[in-house]
Amino acid sequence: MSSATGSFSAPAQVHAFDGLLSDFDGTIVDSTNAIVKHWHQIGDELGVDPKTILATSHGRRSIDTLRLYDQTKANWDYVNEIEGQIPKRYGSDAVEIPGGRDLLAALETSGAKWGVVTSGTRPLVDGWLKALNLPHPKNLVTAMDVTNGKPDPSCYLLGRKQLGIEDSTSIVVLEDAPSGIKAGKAAGFKVLALTTTHSLHQLQEAGADWIVEDLRSISIKAVVDGQVQIEIRNAYQ
């Protein structure tokens, strides 16, 4: 989404970072249709209007969403079970975000320090990676690994620790949701946001450093002295 005052047309720019951390759902994989079906099913079971749940569920851990409606279901056994079922039931309803497959392949082969930081559970991530035949990140922070979900920065700080660069703030975060952008910024990192699930205005308000339409605007140029060089094209200006 763009406004009359700007467009996705910024000249290509290359930035170097010690590491890259990416959100998963909405950033690498688009499973919106599957998630909508999932929350409709859960909403029916809980007797809650699914639209009410969906208005606040994106970018938030399921356990935090469920706490709002049924404390008895807000436990990891239940959350792992229901999220693990999503790719099995609705596997055909997900696709990679445009450019996602190429970006993951480039990160894998370049030797860059990178990882995925998601509000989803491990069964959910594993299921989508298998269903879409995408590379599995060696470094993965999931909903169960932190006490507080996004916008709390602890997930991204844990991601940095997994990369082995705890003293660095030279890290770029890829995100699609305001809660994730706020988490990345609170961790002290740069955030590159995608307009895949939220409006340009929402991403700007959350504090994104760059905004692009999807991952086709991002490519890995090289890894030099341990730093990954990332080219950003057609950012909003």
Beta strands, E only, 118-158: 140-141
Burial 107-134 (b: 16+ CB within 10 A, else e): beeeebbbbbbbbbbbbbbbbbbebbeb
Catalytic residue from among 18, 23, 30, 176: 23
Give the alpha-carbon dihedral of 96, 21, 216, 123, to 10 degrees.
Answer: 0
Cα–Cα distance, 210 to 236 (Å, whole number): 7
Burial 202-227 (b: 16+ CB within 10 A, else e): bbeebebbbbbbbbebbbbeebeeeb
Question: Token digits for 200?
Answer: 């340009």
How many Cα atoms are found within 13 Å in the side-chain-facing hemisphere of 30? 15
Catalytic residue from among 25, 30, 93, 176: 25
Give the alpha-carbon dihedral of 113, 133, 177, 185, to 10 degrees.
Answer: 0
> Is 23 among the residues known to form the active site?
yes
Cα–Cα distance, 149 to 142 (Å, whole number): 9
In the beta sheet, which residues pair with residue 8? 236
> Is 18 among the residues known to form the active site?
no
Question: Which residues are known to be catalytic?
Answer: 23, 25
